[in-house]
Amino acid sequence: MEGDEVFLTGATGFIGRHVLDALLAAGYRVRALVRPTSRPLPPLPGLQQAPGDLLRPGELVHQMEGCRYLVHVAALYAFAPRQRHDIWATNVHGCAAVLEAARIVGIERAVVTSSSATVGPAQGERPADEDDHAPEEAGAASTYHYSKIEQERVALAARVPTVLVLPTAPVGPGDWKPTPTGKMVVDLMRGRIFASLGGGLNVVAVEDVAKAHVLALREGQPRTRYLVGGENLSLAELWRRLAVICGRKAPTRRIPYALALSIGWTDELRCRITPGVATPLAPLEGVRMARHNMFVRCDRARAELGYAPTPVTDALERAVRWYRDNGYA
């Protein structure tokens, strides 16, 4: 209920910061877990910051005491080869730890941020839905996506009523790292995209994802997965829309998948052996995904949560404006 206190993880991240704003706007009080090394949060009415770390689970019980709900957004989203151990520790073990702490302190309800990657790609002409599950071999090809598959299993097995929110590819202001999706926007703004693979993805406004977390907290059914997306776009259409917004030319050449895969493997090796180089320019995991149509439908979220996505082009414009205002391009 509004006015109750929510324990929130991941509030300094891209999605998490928008979730924080959505919770406060909905009238909840928020206690946000903030690592000492994270970007500081501004002082906001209704916000209390709690220093701690998912990787130090002994601290979580004390920090969570007195909260009625948990919204667990924190995750490590990266394609860097050297971060694969950290990805698993944060996304799988961290989720298990925070849900166990929630059980101990008597949290009534939890919402966990998963990923649309756990449903896998479209099946022919049919977009994926919550009854689909990504095949194990597909998850094993991507440490991040495999970690989200395992995270879902942890969340569904937790002894706290838990609702799963599965965002697609969020875009919008505030993606400061940026995430792999945000990097696509920045790279096109900088004129670095000269060719593209086939395939496509579902793109969603990050503000819609944040509002969906509040809806899931209020209306979601425990142990239920809710896909939260916007529009299914081919990569060619995504580049076209971004090019119009940025005043750039959209890439028209298509790179063969075999060539892209070899570039990805070469870049993977470069990151493994070169000191100081952590993040690949052509992530192998991203190349593998880009050959598929990662299209979804969000009928369940619309029907059960009252979810109503807003236009994606508007979100792309907000993202480009934010990157320009903050010196990214």
Please give the distance of CA 5 from its chain centroid, rounded to a whole number.
23
Cβ contact 9:72 at 8 Å: yes
**pTM to 2 decimals?**
0.91
Least confident segment among 8-12, 36-40, 87-91, 272-276: 272-276
Instruction: Write out pLDDT tens, residues 105-124.
Output: 999 999 999 999 999 999 88
- Sequence ranges of the domains in the chain: 5-171+205-230+295-309
> To 10 degrees, what angle do helices 14-25 and 206-219 make?
50
The answer to which of 150-154, 164-168, 287-291, 321-325 has the lowest mean pLDDT is: 287-291
Identify the weakest region by mean pLDDT among 51-55, 93-97, 251-255. Answer: 251-255
For the segment 191-203, the average pLDDT, to the nearest whole number, is: 84
256, burial (CB in 10 Å: exposed 0-12, middle 13-18, buried 19+): exposed
Residue 139 pLDDT grade (very low, low, confident, very high; cuts 50, 70, 90): very low
Contact 246, 320 (CB under 8 A): yes
Interval 275-291: pLDDT, tens: 655 666 666 566 666 66
Q: What average pLDDT does range 61-89 have in this prediction?
A: 86
Give the highest mean pLDDT range of 72-86, 258-272, 276-290: 72-86
Mean pLDDT of 127-151: 81
Angle at which helix 235-246 crosses helix 180-189, to 10 degrees, equals: 50
The pLDDT value given to residue 67: 97
Q: In the chain, what percentage of residues exceed pLDDT 90?
A: 66
Q: Which fold has domain 5-171+205-230+295-309?
A: Rossmann fold (3.40.50)
pLDDT tens by residue, 166-192: 999 999 999 998 988 898 899 899 988
Q: Is the pLDDT of residue 162 over 50?
A: yes
d(CA 317, CA 104): 44
- The whole-number pLDDT of residue 197 equals 73
% of the chain beyond a pLDDT of 70: 84
Mean pLDDT of the chain: 89
What's the rounded Cα separation, in Å, for the pair 267 and 245? 30
